[in-house]
Amino acid sequence: MTFAATVLTLYPAMFPGPLGTALAGRALGTQWTLDPVDIRDSATDRHRSVDDTPAGGGPGMVMRADVLARAIDTCGGTGPRLLMSPRGRPFDQGLARTLASGPGVTIVCGRFEGVDERVIERRGLTEVSIGDYILSGGEIGAMAVLDAIVRLLPGVMGNAASADEESFADGLLEHPQYTRPAQWEDAPIPEVLMSGDHGKIAAWRRAARLRLTAARRPDLFERRTPGEPAK
């Protein structure tokens, strides 16, 4: 089954962008498809207007419910409908895995001051955020979401097990990585990693993941490893 991604945007020329390179780019057209839809094509006036002033006053403009709803209704997108929004639920690895297991996703890229609340409610848009900061629009966020999803699709990564020990795979940050040369400047690779003892290597990596998560993301550590000490 090919994963189908539909992106509704005012700037379809931004896609595929970085999604057309590396892992995602090599899989594009085989393991997944991408359909960027221009929201302005659903406007009805000669100026192709998609926004208007906020009800109740205030700065900026708001994306119109009628135009955006028409774009959603006619785009033919499949799967859950997401709206990239700074007030949305944090996008995480768990959500990426859930979406990757489905038939596809439809992502709406907001602009201006936001989107008319009525289209969010009436078209069942799930607001998703990639972080506590503001971007000019949802396109970069949509690319991040799609990259996280696509790499989890079957056959995209050369070694599917690569995803099993990454940061957030089980709620912990990833352990430190090393490769040749064995000695670089005055820093050697930790001896245990050169021992060939897979049990000791696994224990070392687990302990390292616990230490890193406790130090850098105590929120993750407390939530995902109750009662397990940072060794």
pLDDT at residue 92 is higher than 70: yes
Centre a 10 Å sphere on the Cβ of residue 98 and count the other Cβ atoms it contains. 13
Average pLDDT on 25-44 reads 98
Distance CA 173, CA 210 (A): 8
What pLDDT, in 10s, does the model give residues 140-163?
Answer: 999 999 999 999 999 999 766 566
Give bridge partners of residue 183 from the DSSP assignment: 188
For residue 116, which amino acid is it? D
pLDDT at residue 186 is higher than 70: yes
Write down all domains in the chain, each with its CATH number in brackets. 3-150 (3.40.1280.10), 166-224 (1.10.1270.20)
Residue 1: what pLDDT?
86
pLDDT at residue 36 is higher than 60: yes
Question: pLDDT confidence of 226, banded at 50, 70, 90?
Answer: low
Buried b (16+ CB within 10 A) or exposed e, 114-134: bbbeebbeebebebbbbeeee
Distance CA 193, CA 172 (A): 20
The encoded tokens of residue 167 equal 């940061």
Strands of the sheet containing 104-109, edge to edge, are 32-38, 3-9, 104-109, 81-90, 126-129
How much of the chain, in percent, has pLDDT values that exceed 70?
Answer: 93
Residue 162: what pLDDT?
63
pLDDT at residue 90 is higher than 60: yes
